[in-house]
Amino acid sequence: MRKEQKKKLNSRARRLNRTRKSIVSNSMLPRLSVFRSLKHFYLQLIDDKAGNTICSASDAEIKETKGKKPLEIAAEIGHILGEKAVAKKVTKIVFDRGAYKYHGKVKAAADAVRKAGLEF
């Protein structure tokens, strides 16, 4: 692995740990985890005490993504996850943005989850 790649991975891990350490104290609430890859977008609701996933949503669940903007897709994924969580009687969560900035797709998904009825 090249020096630049190691530096990029180390700085990402540092950002991830910085955001997660503030979330650990609120482990009694489910954690909404965000993952972005270059092509896809995923959201998971995780119960840290039991160590399992309550529900999840990704862009694979959306039938028509052609012609939609990435922000619209992320908002739709957030709405899908919000509906699933409300169906499982989850009302309060903790938002875990991971190493990603709170703007763009991450913010659109978070706003859609709020509109679906979950509280951060």
CATH of the domain at 55: 3.30.420.100
Domain span holding position 65:
3-116
- The CA-based dihedral angle spanning residues 30, 48, 20, 107, taken in that order and rounded to the nearest 10 degrees: -30
**Cα angle 64-65-69, degrees, rounded to a multiple of 5:** 140
- Grouping H, G, I as helix, E, B as strand and the rest as coil, residue 33 is strand
**How high is the pLDDT of residue 25?**
53
How confident is the model at residue 50, as a pLDDT? 85
pLDDT value at residue 63: 87
pLDDT in tens, 29-61: 899 999 999 999 999 999 988 889 999 999 999
Q: How far is CA 96 from CA 35, 39, 67, 93, in A?
A: 10, 20, 29, 10
Amino acid 97: pLDDT: 92
pLDDT band at 24 (very low <50, low <70, confident <90, very high): low
pLDDT digits (tens, 9 = 90+) for 71-110: 999 999 999 999 999 999 999 999 999 889 999 999 999 9
Residue 16: its pLDDT value, please? Answer: 87
Cα distances (Å, whole numbers) of residue 13 to 6, 16, 18, 27: 10, 5, 9, 20
- How many domains does the chain divide into? 1
Strand partners, 55: 45
Model pTM? 0.86
Q: What is the mean pLDDT of residues 9-13?
A: 89
Confidence (pLDDT) at 26? 62
